[in-house]
Amino acid sequence: MKKAFSLMELMIVIIILGLLASLVLPNLIGKSEEAKQKLVCVQMQSVAQALKMFKLDNGNYPDTEEGIQALIKNPDPEKYPNYSAKGYLSNGQLPKDPWGHPFIYVKKEDGFNLISLGADGKEGGKDENKDISYEDCLKK
């Protein structure tokens, strides 16, 4: 006697899998963008640590015009004589946000801010296109 599934049993299994997929998939859609938004904050933390090391060595943060490029190459050896010979980013490359855009660096009177322009790479926006700042990440 052959042991096999009947057509009815197969149809029931397929229907159950379809129902499960219809319940689970809507919850998963959009999670990748949410994960990218959280990853931005993690990446900003890493850049912030490098900026803090830069400040410890040099007495202040790089100017806005010098940007985070100052973390991989000394922008002014006279201005920053204590600059680390290895730079401040371990891989020697400027980080990009999860959407492949460079971070925007702004020196402030009492510190700095980093900004990601979100998925669209443009200022403003909503949902996955909203701008994310380091200051916002610190509030979470």
Are 123 and 106 contacting, i.e. CB atoms less than 8 angstroms apart? no
Is the pLDDT higher at 78 or at 5?
78
Mean pLDDT of 114-136: 88
Are 128 and 110 contacting, i.e. CB atoms less than 8 angstroms apart? no
Handedness of CA 50, 52, 54, 60 (dihedral sign): positive
Q: Read off the pLDDT of residues 68-116 as tens digits, 9 standing for 90 and up.
A: 999 999 999 999 999 999 999 888 888 899 999 999 999 999 899 999 9
Mean pLDDT of 12-37: 78
Provide the Cα torsion 114, 122, 119, 29; round to 10°: 120
CATH node for 32-139 = 3.30.700.10
Cα separation, 89 vs 9, whole angstroms: 59
Are 79 and 96 contacting, i.e. CB atoms less than 8 angstroms apart? no
pLDDT value, residue 27: 67
Counting DSSP H helices and E strands in the chain, the numbers are: 3, 3
Domain positions in the chain are 32-139
Are 54 and 70 contacting, i.e. CB atoms less than 8 angstroms apart? yes
pLDDT at residue 47 is higher than 90:
yes
Look up the pTM and report it.
Answer: 0.75
